[in-house]
Amino acid sequence: MRRTWQSRHHHAPAHSLDLQIPDLETPNQQSPDSHPNPSLVMKPLIHTLIAAAAASGFASAQTTAVTTPVGYTTQTLVPGFNNVGLTVHRPTLAAGNLEVIGTGSVQDTTAGVDFTVSLGTTGRIHILEITSGAAVGTVSEISTWTANTITTVDNLSTAGVLAGDTYRIRKAPTLEEIFGTATSGGPLTAGTSSTADLVYVPTGVPNQYTQYFLSGAGTFRSVVPNALAPNVPIVYLDGLFINRKASGNVSLVVTGEVKPEKAGGRLVTGFNYLGTIHPVGSTIQNSGLENFVLAGTSSTADLIYVPTGTPNQYLQVFRSGAGTWRTVVPNALAPDPVNLNGAIFILRKGATNAPWAINTPSTWDLE
């Protein structure tokens, strides 16, 4: 289990790589709009994202129903390190109201609810999302359940979850489901640990990642130990690196639901590599991150590293004591907007275990 509301639980091999990202401490400051944004191409909608469509340029049918929008994102992977975040998500498998909030479990006692049917056998990482109430946006990993009880690693009552709050559960996608296992023509170049593209998954320790690659046999393996690593789950709160070793560009296409609520987790002191959750419309200015990061000067404030589109280069942004977003170089007001496309770093200088969340983009209309 990898990430819960308050802690991470490692499913990865014990070895982890201390990845030193070039230029991370002193990145080349470029306009965040100097590169193409990953695009969201909507399939026929059964819910509306009218304002988001107008703002981002993708087309959709204006229709209304009760289900979540679905679509797909396309991101170009270039040679070198690529910042990747999951911004469309696996389908909803269960949803309803929680009637009982325990210290290590929650219950939906509604007649007809049976998690053993809707979620299947236990042991595979799923994501429990709180979708209403004071704790909306709370995200917790789960892997054990009975007919109407879900075991939680965290005490969700301390996160503010109350009886009557609504929830949604979806399965965490695996590396196989995200990237496929095609050894040619897919988004990853297959090979050995020396020749294949590498996927870096955060371990929960700042600057440390476990490396995976697609072998010539079409299976995922870890680099150290060089062993089979099937069905590694990825939770969308994490950012990923893909080190593309082949020449030329390829497209990574991910299909899924759009998450209509904010979401987030906890920051540890040091570098946190985070997914930005939403496929289009998220910016520093509408993210709500000002409610969580430590404000101050460029030396004392938490720093947010936003990829510029050039491998290993980031725009550093911080919240000033005057309540404005500023860049480190130049020391000036940040461009408006600074787009959040997939994954960002937050260098937490304040206390550990601090909450963070990214709002639903203000341009969206989900009514």
Sign of CA dihedral 262, 265, 270, 273: negative
**What's the pLDDT score for residue 48?**
24
CA angle 192, 194, 200 (to 5 degrees): 90
pLDDT higher than threshold 90 for residue 167: yes
**What's the pLDDT score for residue 233?**
96
CATH-assigned architecture of domain 92-171: Beta Barrel (2.40)
Tokens representing 90 are 């696996």
3-state SS track over the chain: CCCCCCCCCCCCCCCCEECCCCCCCCCCCCCCCCCCCCEEEECCCCCCCHHHHHHHCCCCCCCCCCCCCEEEEEEEECCEEEEEECCCECCEEEEEECCEECCCEEECCCCCCCHHHHCCCCCCCEEEEECCCCCCCCEEEECEECCCEEECCCCHHHHCCCCCCEEEEEECCEHHHHHCCCCCCCCCCCECCCCCCEEEEECCCCCEEEEEEEECCCCEEECCCCEECCCCECCCCEEEEEEECCCCCEEEEEEEECCCCCEEEEECCEEEEEECCCCCCCECCCCCHHHCCCCECCCCCCEEEEECCCCCCEEEEEEECCCCEEECCCCEECCCCCECCCEEEEEECCCCCEEEEECCCCCCCCC
Sign of CA dihedral 134, 118, 258, 88: positive
**What's the pLDDT score for residue 367?**
58
**In angstroms, rounded to a whole number, what is the distance separating the alpha carbons of residues 109 and 96?**
10
pLDDT higher than threshold 90 for residue 14: no
Structure confidence at residue 7 as a pLDDT band (50, 70, 90): very low
- For 332-352, the pLDDT digits (tens) are 999 999 999 999 999 999 888
**In angstroms, rounded to a whole number, what is the distance separating the alpha carbons of residues 33 and 292?**
25
The per-residue pLDDT of the chain, averaged, comes to 84
- For 142-160, the pLDDT digits (tens) are 999 999 999 998 889 999 9
Give the CA radius of gyration of the chain: 20
Q: What is the mean pLDDT of residues 71-92?
A: 96
pLDDT higher than threshold 50 for residue 60: no
- Whole-angstrom CA distances from 176 to 73, 180, 181, 220 are 17, 5, 6, 8
Letter for the amino acid at 36?
Answer: P
Partners of 300 in beta bridges: none
- For 199-232, the pLDDT digits (tens) are 999 988 888 999 999 999 999 999 999 999 999 9
pTM of the model: 0.83
**What's the pLDDT score for residue 356?**
96
Of the chain, the end-to-end C-alpha distance in Å amounts to 34
Answer whether 345's CB lies under 8 Å from 305's CB.
Answer: yes
Q: Which long-range contacts (CB under 8 A, 24 or more apart) does 38-41 make?
A: 38/73, 38/74, 38/75, 38/76, 38/87, 38/279, 38/341, 38/342, 39/73, 39/74, 39/280, 40/71, 40/72, 40/73, 40/87, 40/88, 40/279, 40/280, 41/71, 41/72, 41/73, 41/74
pLDDT higher than threshold 70 for residue 63: no
**What's the pLDDT score for residue 67?**
61
